[in-house]
Amino acid sequence: MVEKEDSNKMNDRSKILEDGKKDGIFGSIKDKEIDHVDYDRWTGGPRGPEKITFKDGSVVIFKCDIRHYWMADNPDTPIREAIAYQIDRIVGLGLIPRTMVIDDMINDIQYDGSVQEWMKDAKDGYQIDKFTPEEKKDFERLRVFDFVIGNSDRHLENVLFTNDGKMHAIDHNACLIIDKDEDILSFPDSIIIFFSKNVVHDMPHIVDIIEKFYDCKEKILGLIDKYIHDNTKLAKVMVESRINYLYEMLKKDKPFPRKYLEWRNGLDEEVRKIVKRDKQQ
């Protein structure tokens, strides 16, 4: 199995910031004039999500870097939010609002965390009657996306629908291995239910996103390696093994397995291949 990293990989902050600006990972809101801020509070924590409205009418949702407020060994959640957005762009999912990491001091208040474009007048999944055909396809593509990045927090409250008929996916801080003891072979069984009830090879939108993940695999792994500071190796192995598994099953041109254990065994085989390859390099 994958060896645990003895300590967190700490990149040079200034170098990350420089490269991050080029890739859209890092940014700033300090040049924008704030009109007002709507505050929320997390249970057990001193600072929760903040809806920031600027005087130009634009709005973002700010989430603090929880490592500064809770335990220091918490995962780098702002980076994970931004990386999920970047992966969305790479594979052409087009569902995650623009997201970036900031570290700004505004009016003597520290804004160190992530900001994401606010979806105006959006309804969550519990507030709509049913998906349109296009929304259904987008949600199905999102299932594949969540499976690959190991997102364990997808529910209808973080799937939004706007008046222009578009669907948006938010809240991606619980992905890419947030705990060093996390089972990288574990995943919600909803993905199996979806694949077992559908003939994937007859669903071009699903075939397309699986193939895009495979074709862009090295770019995605490079992004994780560059910006994820904690559990980096585990995150890379999890993502690569899941991409490989989906792609290999797709190539076999037969139904995907219907049992959870079969999926786990298949993923475990892909993990072992990756570990063996890495040891030989």
pLDDT reported for residue 77? 85
- For residue 46 the two structure tokens come to 């001193």
Residues 61 and 95: their CA atoms lie apart, in Å, by: 16
Burial level of 114, CB count in 10 A (0-12/13-18/19+)?
Answer: buried
DSSP class of residue 158? G
DSSP class of residue 219? H
Query: How far does CA 40 lie from the centroid of its chain?
Result: 23
pLDDT digits (tens, 9 = 90+) for 260-274: 999 999 999 999 999
- For residue 161 the two structure tokens come to 């629908």
> What pTM, to 2 d.p., does this model score?
0.89
Task: Write the DSSP string, 38-105.
Answer: EE---TTSS---EEEEETTS-EEEEEE-GGGTS-TTS--HHHHHHHHHHHHHHHT---SPPEEEEEEE
Cβ neighbours, 10 Å, residue 168: 19
Query: What number is the average pLDDT over the span 277-281?
Result: 90
pLDDT reported for residue 45? 54
Residues 6+ apart with CB under 8 A from 201: 207, 250, 253
Pairing verdict, β 167-169 and 34-39: unpaired
pLDDT at position 13 over 50: no
pLDDT digits (tens, 9 = 90+) for 196-253: 888 888 899 999 999 999 999 999 999 999 999 889 999 999 999 999 999 999 998 7
Residue 3's pLDDT band (cuts 50, 70, 90): low
Residues 178 and 74: their CA atoms lie apart, in Å, by: 8
pLDDT digits (tens, 9 = 90+) for 114-162: 999 999 999 999 999 889 999 999 999 999 999 999 998 899 999 999 9
pLDDT reported for residue 5? 52
Query: How far does CA 140 lie from the centroid of its chain?
Result: 16
